Amino acid sequence: AQSVTQLGSHVSVSEGALVLLRCNYSSSVPPYLFWYVQYPNQGLQLLLKYTSAATLVKGINGFEAEFKKSETSFHLTKPSAHMSDAAEYFCAVGGYSSASKIIFGSGTRLSIRP
């Protein structure tokens, strides 16, 4: 069985500060891992994905995530937060083709302080 846990339902950082959103997963097979972003009243948009290639994955809008097998983690980071980064972020773990096996975390709402 696969599962994903996002630590912290709400994270607040100052503009220009480091963003760190935490995600830990559980999977009995090599996982595919994803981070999605959701702006208010909109659908989800893929930020980045890990599919067993490079462990450091770069995504859109300056975000990146590092796959650490020993820690079963896939934390999302951005060196310098912008006001436009305020949104909800979801970590997801999935299989190889079927979304029925893609499990979403409960989400982390990121707020940016001016």
Partner 1 sequence: DGGITQSPKYLFRKEGQNVTLSCEQNLNHDAMYWYRQDPGQGLRLIYYSQIVNDFQKGDIAEGYSVSREKKESFPLTVTSAQKNPTAFYLCASMGTGGTGELFFGEGSRLTVL
Q: Is 55 helix (H, G, I), strand (E, B) or coil?
A: coil
| Given 3, 14, 26, 45, the residue binding partner 1 (CB under 8 A) | 45
* Closest approach of partner 1 to the CB of residue 101, in Å: 8
* Closest approach of partner 1 to the CB of residue 42, in Å: 5
* Closest approach of partner 1 to the CB of residue 69, in Å: 18
Answer yes or no whether residue 12 interacts with partner 1 by CB under 8 A. Answer: no
Q: Which residues contact 107 (CB under 8 A, 6 or more apart)?
A: 6, 9, 38, 88, 89, 90
Q: What are phi and psi of 101, to 5 degrees?
A: -105, 10
